[in-house]
Amino acid sequence: MGHQSIVHLEDTTKIYQQGKVEVCAVDRLSLSIKKGDFASLCGPSGSGKTTVLNLIGGLDIPTSGRVLLENQDLAILTRSQISAIRRDRLGFVFQAYNLIPVLTAYENAEFVLRLQGVSERECRDRVMAVLKEVGLEDLENRRPDEMSGGQQQRVAIARAIVSRPAIVLADEPTANVDSATAESLLDLMQRLNQDYGGTFLFSTHDHRVMERARRLICLKDGRIETDEVRR
């Protein structure tokens, strides 16, 4: 494992039980994501993209093999230790935005910082800065149902990056938005990657995401088919 690796999957397998049938979603997969990567997992449905993100995010545990996040084996951690890692070291962006409906844009973005116990004053500064970064400084008091899909996804990105995580895992982030919004979201994430060195790992079907990714990892049947690094 390279010294700059943030994530390392080592001969990882994930088998799901679907009724009486066993489905191998990830098959002896080894992969490293380095600091500053802007990488995309692509492949057809059922190729294991989301499962890889779930394993890296500690949302799921491998059937065999290891998943290391910043050299820490997630399989040996307790539920609360994994929660702490997700809170402090990971950012998530979901396809369906998944904002908390009772919270405003500001409060959604602030959510992780509050879990970390950051003071109200510092929260205010950091959240306002990040909302400005994603272009939502005027919509801080709006609740999710008062915002468009693109705006909601921007809030989700703000929530994912506000705590300066080691890596942002984005599962089909452009799937539910129109082309123009998708482009602007990608611009935003690319800028965050370039300006702040944030590490991004996407799972996507969207060719726009694939075109912009500096590393494209194609999966098929739970295995890496190609792993292409672009300049």
Positions touching another protein (CB under 8 A) are 54, 57, 59-60, 79-80, 83-84, 86-88, 90-92, 94, 98, 100-103, 107, 110-112, 114-116, 159-160
CB of 129 to another protein, least distance (A): 18
Token look-up 């915002």 returns: 147
The whole-angstrom separation of Cα 67 and Cα 8 is 6
CB closer to another protein, 116 vs 179: 116
CB closer to another protein, 82 vs 217: 82
Question: Which residues, in sequence order, are CB contacts of 114 under 8 Å at separation 6+?
Answer: 123
Q: Are 173 and 185 in contact (CB under 8 A)?
A: yes
CB of 87 to another protein, least distance (A): 2
CB of 108 to another protein, least distance (A): 9
- Which is nearest to 134 in space by CA: 161, 99, 174? 161
- Which is nearest to 1 in space by CA: 33, 36, 28? 33
CB closer to another protein, 64 vs 83: 83
CB closer to another protein, 37 vs 107: 107
CB closer to another protein, 32 vs 98: 98
The whole-angstrom separation of Cα 123 and Cα 210 is 34
CB of 230 to another protein, least distance (A): 29
> How are strands ordered across the β-sheet holding 167-171?
90-93, 167-171, 200-204, 38-42, 215-220, 223-229
CB of 59 to another protein, least distance (A): 4
- Which is nearest to 81 in space by CA: 93, 91, 69? 69
